[in-house]
A = this chain, B = another copy of it.
Amino acid sequence: MTQFVSVDDVATLFHGRGSDRFFRELTAVIGDDFRRWPVFEKAARLASHSRDGVIELMPTSDGETYGFKYVNGHPRNTLDGKLTVTAFGVLADVASGYPTFISEMTLLTAMRTAATSALAAKALARPESRRMALIGAGAQAEFQALAFRAVLGIDTVAVYDVDAAATDKFMRNLRGVPGLRILRAGSVAEAVAGADIVTTATAAKTRATILTPDMIEPGMHINAIGGDCPGKTELAAAILERAKVFVEFPPQSRIEGEIQQMGEGFAVTELWRVLTGEAKGRTSATDVTVFDSVGFAIEDFSTLRYVRDIAVEAKVGSDLDLVPAPRDPKDLFGVMGRRTNLHERRELEALEA
């Protein structure tokens, strides 16, 4: 049987564990995998583009476990009341090739993005960071706020969205979360002023300039998660020029990230090298650091393994009858039972009668 974790199961696991513990553990698991980055198979995403969006398969393997995520990106879906991004993920045993685990990943993609953001910020932001500006109060927003609270101790979030209803929703969803003050800002500049960390998570599939150089203060860490496909960016190029820029996987980030605006030789540092101590992160309290995040298959892999393990521990989820289990591996046909014969024997008897 193949282990299955549904949307409802993920909600149960998240609430059962509590947001703080969930995000701390998930961030730790992703961090462990980033620190063993070279062992992973890093394939390009397999993308199918269409008029309204893209469907991608994102596989990776650590030699023992294989994982992949199915994910779409359809910016105009919200016009029909649909999500712009949906996803599910699969783990398989490399030795046998058997798929062992399937999970929803729409919620988990938002969670792993938030956990990866927090992982990067923990390594790159000033340690005393407590105030975050959050530009964009869409589908990712609550997850970002909760992960930064859990992992960095962020206690104040100044939020701005061009859509006031999105900000309402964000404030409603996080009302009553202990130790988290939410401020409603009247503009991007107002939200950003005085922030230690700036998270940009806007959705428009355009070359946007959400942040301009005048808003950026010395020492800020910018967590840029909204620019994640060709033609979609959020930061002014001048910000990138003056900052230290950190990425997941450079070949992918140069196509999909903020740095698609820069030349091919533009210097970036891989986050995993900072985490292993091979490369430096921030070198002074006045550096401006940017995590130009586009999302990488290894983050999904770590998240699937984490959720698989806590689902077993919490006895949450169900079994799918996805792979036949014949008594004799050469007898695949036999899996279907003897019903064909019985059925056709009856036909034969009818013919003979």
Residues of A within 8 A of B (CB): 4, 6-11, 14-15, 18-19, 41, 43, 46, 48, 50, 52-55, 57, 59, 61, 63, 66, 68, 70, 72-74, 77-78, 80-84, 86, 88, 90, 92, 94-99, 102, 104, 106-107, 110, 137-143, 163, 165-166, 169, 173-178, 320-324, 326, 328-337, 339-341, 343-345, 347-348, 351
The answer to whether B18 and A321 touch across the interface, beta carbons within 8 angstroms, is no
In the complex, what residues of B have CB within 8 A of residue A323's CB?
7, 83, 86, 88, 104, 106
Distance, CA A320 to CA B59, complexed state (A): 22
* A48-B41 in contact given A177-B340, A335-B7, A341-B177 (Cβ < 8 Å): yes
Count chain B CB atoms within 10 A of each CB in A80, A96, A178 and give the residue with the most: A96
In the complex, what residues of B have CB within 8 A of residue A163's CB?
330
Instruction: Select which of B10, B15, B173, B175 is within 8 A of A331 by beta carbon.
Output: B173
Distance, CA A102 to CA B323, complexed state (A): 12
The answer to whether A178 and B351 touch across the interface, beta carbons within 8 angstroms, is yes
Instruction: Select which of B48, B110, B320, B332 is within 8 A of A332 by beta carbon.
Output: B110
The answer to whether B59 and A50 touch across the interface, beta carbons within 8 angstroms, is no
Instruction: Select which of B173, B177, B348 is within 8 A of A334 by beta carbon.
Output: B173
In the complex, what residues of B have CB within 8 A of residue A48's CB?
41, 43, 59, 61, 66, 94
In the complex, what residues of B have CB within 8 A of residue A80's CB?
96
* A335-B107 in contact given A98-B86, A139-B330 (Cβ < 8 Å): yes
Instruction: Select which of B14, B55, B106, B110 is within 8 A of A92 by beta carbon.
Output: B55
Distance, CA A55 to CA B330, complexed state (A): 20
Cβ contacts A to B, 24 pairs, < 8 Å: A6-B321, A7-B322, A7-B323, A7-B335, A18-B343, A52-B96, A55-B92, A70-B99, A74-B96, A77-B329, A80-B96, A83-B326, A83-B329, A84-B329, A86-B97, A88-B323, A104-B321, A110-B333, A139-B331, A139-B333, A141-B333, A165-B330, A169-B328, A173-B340
* A340-B88 in contact given A63-B50, A104-B322 (Cβ < 8 Å): no
